[in-house]
Amino acid sequence: MAELLTGNALVGQSGGCTAVINCSLAGVVQEAARHAAIGRVFGMAYGIQGALAGRLLDLGGEDPTIIQALCGTPAAALGTCRYRLQPDDPARAVALCQRHDVRYFFYIGGNDSADTSHRIALAAEAAGYPLRVIGIPKTIDNDLPITDHCPGYGSIARFVAEATLDAGRDTEANRYVDPIKIMEVMGRNAGWVAAACALGKRSDEDAPHLVYFPERPLSVPRFLDDVKAAYDRLGFAVIVITETMRDERGQPLAEEGATVADAFGHSRLVGAANRLVNLIQDRLGLRARYDKPGTIQRSLMAAASPVDLEEAYLVGQMAVRYAVAGEHDQMVTLVREPGPAYRCRTDLAPLAAIANQEKKLPADFINDAGNGVTDAFRAYALPLLGPPLPTYPRLTRAVEDGGHEPQISADERR
C-alpha cells in the first residue's frame, strides 16, 4: 500500500480553453476537500508560467458556491498559458512546491501539458521530494493517445455539428446568392473536429456535403471536381475543412506569411478557407463565402454537452483519488465500456506516453472518397454530444404553374 502523503495541492490549467475545463477544476477542488491528507488547495494563475512567477490563488478559501458555479462557466477560470518549460524550470517548480508544502500536483491540459507534468514529476524524483503528479486530460482536438476521448471534445463537436447544420440551411436558402460555403474549423493536425461537423447530417440535402481532413492531403483539382458535383446535384454545397489543411506537396493551404507558432512550435495557420473560396470563384465561376467560428467554437457554454460536463468533472475528481492512493506521473484516461448503452470509466496512462504525442482520426472513420465520415465515426462520436441534435422540416408542397427557372448569369454567380 502506498505511503499516505500529507500536504497541500496545486492545480493549474493550460493550453486552449474549452467549455468544460472548469468542471475539471471544480472536480479537483471539491474532491480534495474530502481528503484529510490534503490541506490547502492552491491554484496556478495562468498555468505553470504564472506559478513560476509566484502567482497563486487560494482555491480552498473561495466560497463553495463559486467553486460549484465553475461547472457552468466557460474558458479557464484560473487563466491559462502555452509555456514550454526552460531547462531550469522543472527544478524551480519543485522548489515552489517545497515552499508551499505541496505534495499533490494536478495539471489540466493536453499533449504539451502532459510534457510539462512529466518533466516536473522527474524533477521531483531527482530532488528526492515526495510529490504526486497527475495529468488531467483536456483538449478540443481530441488527439491525446490512449484515452478513448478527451474532455472538451464533446462540446466543440456539438457546437460545430449544429453550426454546420444551420449554415447548410442558410446556404440552401441563399442558393441564388451565395451557393457555396466553406466552414473552417479547429483541430490542429487531426480531423476529429472537422468530422464532428457531419454529426447532424441526416439526408443528402443536409450540410455538410463535403468534409476534408488533415490526415488526407487535399488535391485541389479533385476538390474542385467534388464541389462542382455537389453543386450540380443540389444547387448549393457546404464544405468543411480544418485550418491546417495541406496540399499534396505537404504545403499549407493558408496563405504564405499567415503562420504564427506558439512556444511548442504549433503553427496557427489562417487563410485556408479564403484561398479555397477564391479558387471556387475563379475556376468554377460560382459565388462562395466562408464561415470561421474562431475561438467561440471551443468555449461556447450554450453548446456544452452534458456528457462532456460530467466527464470533465469526473477526471478532475478521479485525479485526486488516484493521487491520494499513491499514483504518480500518470494521466487520467477515459475508457469506453462495451455494450449498447454508452458508459465510460476512468483509468491511468503514463504521462510519458501522452507527452507530445498525437492521435489522428482513424482511417475507418473516413469514407473511401476521403471527403466524408463513416457510420463507425458516428457510432463513436454521437454519444459524446448528449441530447439528440435538432431536426428541421422542409416545405414540400410545390405548385406547378408552367413557369421557368430564372437564368443566372456568370456575373450574378460571382
Q: Which helix (H) or strand (E) holds 235?
A: none
| Residues taking part in catalysis | 141
Q: Which helix (H) or strand (E) holds 63?
A: none
CB proximity list for 303: less than 8 A, separation 6 or greater = 19, 155, 156, 158, 159, 162
Place of cell 466557460: 74
State the CB neighbour count (10 A cutoff) for residue 143: 22
Q: Do residues 93 and 49 touch, judged by C-beta distance below 8 A?
A: no
CB proximity list for 243: less than 8 A, separation 6 or greater = 184, 185, 186, 187, 254, 268, 269, 270, 272, 273, 292
| Rounded CA separation 186/386 (Å) | 21
| Rounded CA separation 384/109 (Å) | 19
DSSP-derived secondary structure for 243-268:
TT-BBTTS-BSSPTT-EEE-TT--EE
- Chain centroid to Cα 116, Å, comes to 19
